[in-house]
């Protein structure tokens, strides 16, 4: 494992008792909310492996709900997130699963409101760090530790190049990028992690490019 900073070793400031089960869980919930783009009104959280076995004792449950309420890893309100969720009308259900998964700290979060819903799979890899491995059945790999944009687009030649050119025009450096699709010539998903936050104006510019359906921003 490679570390780029001493903070990768000592980890972020966070609510305990476990960086993997609490801070990582909060980050998974918060990224899910960012990707959904608004406050969900309901959530179903499927827990696997160690998450499923110890989620109550390690505070994984309150952490994920705190993340869905947009709380950061160090926010003291995580401890009382259930109360705030009730106040805001967010209903939720935790479901423990017994099926095998690639990582023991895995959560599938399904969230929605009256108009739309979204599913996301996240894993907590230690020290408060996470990876997002699936979004609405699209396989992907996103760290959740960098600013990023997710671009839903038609699977057509030139779309990836157009987005990359647009970012380069604004001196936005790409740290990681990948593209996945469910089937050839249909819908595809572009995941781009960048070195700085992207302004609303740049997002709107990308959305106007040919064959782009939706652009979502995740701030670091």
**Helices and strands counted in the chain (H then E):** 7, 10
Q: pLDDT (tens digit, 9 = 90+) per residue, 157-204?
A: 999 999 999 999 999 999 999 898 888 889 999 999 999 889 999 999
Q: What is the residue range of 213's domain? A: 147-218
CATH number assigned to the domain comprising residue 201: 3.30.70.260
Residues 6+ apart with CB under 8 A from 207: 214, 215
Distance CA 92, CA 111 (A): 9
Tell me the mean pLDDT in the region 7-20.
48
pTM to 2 decimals?
A: 0.80
pLDDT of residue 188: 93
CA neighbours within 13 Å on the CB side: how many for 103? 16
Out of 98, 114, 142, a domain closes at: 142
77 pLDDT exceeds 50?
Answer: yes
Sign of CA dihedral 15, 82, 36, 44: positive
Question: Nearest Cα to 188, choosing from 219, 211, 165, 162?
Answer: 211
State phi, psi for 141 to the nearest 5 degrees.
-140, 110
- Residue tagged 């819908």 (tokens): 187
Mean pLDDT of 64-82: 93
DSSP 193: E
Percent of the chain with pLDDT over 70: 90
Q: Is 2 inside a domain boundary?
A: no
Q: Is the domain of 101 the same as that of 176?
A: no
């Amino acid at each position: 494992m490679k570390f780029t900073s001493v903070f990768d070793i000592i980890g972020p400031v966070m609510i305990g008792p476990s960086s993997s089960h609490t801070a990582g869980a909060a980050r998974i919930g918060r990224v899910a909310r960012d990707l959904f783009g608004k406050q969900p009104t309901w959530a179903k959280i499927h827990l696997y492996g160690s998450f499923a076995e110890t989620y109550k004792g390690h505070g994984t449950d309150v952490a994920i709900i705190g993340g869905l309420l947009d709380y950061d890893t160090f926010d003291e309100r995580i401890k009382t997130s259930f109360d705030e969720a009730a106040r805001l009308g967010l209903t939720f259900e935790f479901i423990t699963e017994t099926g095998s998964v690639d990582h023991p700290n895995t959560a599938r979060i399904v969230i929605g409101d009256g108009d739309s819903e979204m599913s996301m799979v996240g894993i907590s890899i230690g020290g408060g760090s996470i990876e997002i491995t699936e979004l609405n059945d699209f396989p992907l790999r996103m760290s959740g530790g960098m600013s990023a944009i997710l671009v839903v687009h038609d699977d057509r030649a030139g779309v990836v190049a157009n987005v990359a050119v647009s970012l380069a025009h604004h001196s936005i450096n790409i740290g990681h990028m990948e593209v996945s699709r469910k089937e050839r010539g249909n819908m595809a998903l572009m995941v781009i992690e960048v070195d700085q936050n992207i302004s609303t104006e740049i997002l709107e510019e990308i959305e106007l490019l040919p064959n782009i359906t939706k652009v979502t921003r995740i701030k670091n």
